[in-house]
């Protein structure tokens, strides 16, 4: 399906607790002298007309980047699925490209390839590499908001569990590296060598 960047909002999920990195706000973790949020914005900006950041801390600091920032509706930080609901609600385009803040080498053609795989009856296109599915790297219809909110209300927390019950399509990438995320200082050191 042909979906132009003007029809896409990039929703950056930056609301995690960063427990494996000592509780820091992961978006502001520095990799080779640049924060993860800045690296993520650089990679998604050409792929979408707008950017919305879902964050639960450092809201004023994120806003200084010049993009729309929203916190989850709930104070209990219900995870990435709540972040997805937040960006779907804030989006003004028919499609939303969901990306996490901690994959600094994500594909520059992600939106294009996911969009090409969508059909008129497809709700979500999800990235996959040989080793695993990447449910937080997905292009979805904004109209999925009610479905996401219903899942949250019924107690679903895992994004992959919710996605299993949607009309989805899987898009394969050969490289694991493009989806490598940072959960430790060691991960950061490894990725910094590849930048």
Q: How confident is the model at residue 20 (pLDDT cuts 50, 70, 90)?
A: low
Domain extents in the chain: 5-192
Token reading at 149 = 């909110």
Q: How confident is the model at residue 139 (pLDDT cuts 50, 70, 90)?
A: very high
| pLDDT cut 90: percent of the chain above it | 75
| pLDDT cut 70: percent of the chain above it | 93
Helix axes 145-153, 80-90, angle to 10 degrees: 150
pLDDT top residue among 183 and 89 = 89
Least confident of 15-19, 104-108, 131-135, 148-152: 15-19
pLDDT score of 79: 86
Q: What is the CATH number of domain 5-192?
A: 3.90.550.10
Token reading at 189 = 């050191």
Q: Give me the helices (H) in 69-182, please.
A: 80-90, 110-117, 145-153, 159-163
Q: Give me the helices (H) in the chain, please.
A: 36-44, 59-63, 80-90, 110-117, 145-153, 159-163, 185-192
The pLDDT mean for the chain works out to 91
Q: How confident is the model at residue 22 (pLDDT cuts 50, 70, 90)?
A: low
Rounded Cα distance, 44 and 34, in Å: 16
pLDDT digits (tens, 9 = 90+) for 40-73: 999 999 999 999 999 988 999 999 999 999 997 7
Rounded Cα distance, 101 and 58, in Å: 14
* Residue 72 and residue 56 in contact, taking contact as beta carbons nearer than 8 Å: yes
């Amino acid at each position: 399906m042909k979906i132009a960047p003007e029809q896409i909002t990039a929703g950056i999920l930056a609301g995690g607790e960063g427990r494996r990195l000592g509780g820091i706000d992961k978006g502001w973790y520095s990799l080779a002298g640049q924060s993860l949020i800045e690296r993520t914005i650089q990679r998604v900006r050409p792929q979408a007309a707008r950017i919305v950041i879902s964050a639960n801390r450092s809201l004023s600091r994120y806003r200084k980047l010049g993009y729309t920032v929203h916190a989850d509706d709930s104070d209990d930080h219900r995870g990435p699925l709540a972040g997805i609901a937040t960006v779907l609600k804030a989006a003004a385009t028919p499609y939303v490209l969901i990306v996490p803040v901690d994959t600094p080498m994500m594909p520059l053609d992600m939106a294009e390839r996911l969009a090409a795989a969508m059909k008129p009856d497809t709700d979500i296109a999800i990235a996959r590499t040989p080793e695993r599915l990447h449910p937080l790297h997905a292009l979805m219809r904004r109209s999925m908001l009610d479905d996401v909110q219903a899942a949250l209300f019924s107690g679903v927390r895992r994004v992959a569990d919710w996605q299993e019950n949607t009309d989805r399509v899987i898009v394969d990438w050969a490289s694991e590296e493009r989806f490598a995320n940072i959960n430790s200082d060691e991960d950061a050191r490894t990725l910094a060598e590849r930048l």
